[in-house]
Structure 1
Amino acid sequence: MARALPGDDLVRAPTFNATRAITVGAPPERIWPWLVQVGVRRAGWYSYDLLDNLGHPSARRIRPEWQDLEPGDVLAMSPDGKHGINVYSLDYPRSMVWGTPGDTTWVWQLDPQPDGTTRLLTRIRARIRWSPTSIAFSALLEVADFWMIRKMLAGLRERAEQNVTSGEWQDTWQPANASS
């Protein structure tokens, strides 16, 4: 938890700082496409779909039409697709940073392990400006973060591991902006 991750410097002195991790029985290249396609009206968030995907089931397969993600894109978190979190940076297949510098970052770090697994870390850092509304939001964030992120990590693991064991993965897949 004390380890520095990409994007940590974008939110100084956060009032909310949560790091979660899980080991996934797949290499980073097989987890990455699941992360790239998240969002409302896309693959969902692999969590509690009733709460975070408008009741629609999260995707159970990689969708090519959702694989193009670039810095500056918005990962939708609202039904109209206009509100969400900005993609700040992508380093295929190692890290993604989403957020708004100075306010919030959501980082994904994929660390390959010697045994072929991946340690998948996520960190949310936020600088909450205190007001009566923000106190309620902060309390909700504290409670919801643990359960929602835990479920999302488990959903990512399930999908990536199922994908590996079923042999459905195409080893030649790479995002268009990946360097060789």
Structure 2
Amino acid sequence: MRGFSNPRPFWWAAVPVAYLLLVRPRLLRWGATREEARAALPGDELVTHPHVVATRAVTIEAPPEAVWPWLAQVSGPDERFAPEPGKLGVGDLLPAKGDDVGYRVTQVEPDRLLVLSIRAFHVTLAWTIALRDLGEGRTRLVSRQRIRCRPGVPGLVYLLLSQSADFLAVRGRLAAVKALAEREFRRSFLEPRVGSRVP
């Protein structure tokens, strides 16, 4: 009976199950509705049979044309989109880790859509950033990453990080875009009124 008195083995087994059932789905769908997570987006076709599909979203109190420039200004730990997103063209390479590896622009529609892809020795990844005009000066930003890792230790490490550390990086990036776009849109909206004289 002594072997049944210690519940720790049961709890250790329950931790990964709880993560897979409760935590992981929330990380992969942070801010997005079920409809947004299920909807097809440009770029989905670039990575077939992905190991990870992460769809995250945020509502921004600014129109798409005010959001678009900030996609270039917010950098994560590894990469920077580009200095001027309005000048991005299909085929442009946006450096990530070094000059020879980076995100390739596969589709771009200013103020609406940016699709990036990367093929490294350990991973193939497609990243879609879609801006949807909600009207009344509001934008829905939807970010989707489709990731397929290649066999081996580097691929396994990337797979594990893409479900935890990547969540923090992407969430921080979306929050920064939201804050910057809303701040500058409010400023540009109020500036013409500052200094105006009442007749």
Give the alignment's TM-score, normalised by structure 2. Answer: 0.68
Structure holding more helix per residue: 2
> CA offset at residue 4 of structure 1?
0.7
Which residues of structure 2 form unaligned runs of 5+? 1-36, 191-199
User: Please, what is the CA RMSD of the aligned residues?
Assistant: 2.4
Provide the C-alpha distance between the structure 2 equivalents of 1:30 and 1:6, rounded to a whole number of angstroms. 22
> CA offset at residue 131 of structure 1?
1.2
Q: CA-to-partner distance for each residue in 1:139-180, whole Å, 9 max, x for gaps?
A: 1121112100000000000110011011189xxxxxxxxxxx
Aligned to 1:90: 108
Matched, 1:128 2:149: yes
Amino acid at match of 1:113: L
Bigger RCO (CA 8 Å, 6+ sep): 1
Any residues of structure 2 matched to 1:132-147 within 5 Å, and which? 132-147=153-168
Amino acid at match of 1:91: E
Amino acid at match of 2:44: D
> CA offset at residue 100 of structure 1?
4.4
Provide the C-alpha distance between the structure 2 equivalents of 1:97 and 1:34, rounded to a whole number of angstroms. 16
Matched, 1:72 2:91: yes
Amino acid at match of 1:70: G
Matched, 1:149 2:167: no
Which residues of structure 1 form unaligned runs of 5+? 38-42, 170-180
Higher Rg: 2
Amino acid at match of 1:9: E
After superposing on structure 2, the runs of 4+ consecutive aligned residues of structure 1 that deviate more than 4 Å are: none
Provide the C-alpha distance between the structure 1 equivalents of 2:68 and 2:74, rounded to a whole number of angstroms. 15
Aligned to 1:27: 63
> CA offset at residue 114 of structure 1?
2.8
> CA offset at residue 77 of structure 1?
1.3
Give the alignment's TM-score, normalised by structure 1. Answer: 0.74
Structure holding more strand per residue: 2
Does structure 1 retain, via aligned residues, the 8 Å contact 2:63–2:135?
Answer: no
SS of the equivalent of 2:170 reads: helix
Provide the C-alpha distance between the structure 2 equivalents of 1:81 and 1:160, rounded to a whole number of angstroms. 29
Identity %: 33
Amino acid at match of 1:122: S
What is the aligned residue count?
149
Q: CA-to-partner distance for each residue in 1:82-136, whole Å, 9 max, x for gaps?
A: 3211111101221110004893200001011033210000000011122122111
SS of the equivalent of 1:142 reads: coil
> CA offset at residue 44 of structure 1?
4.7
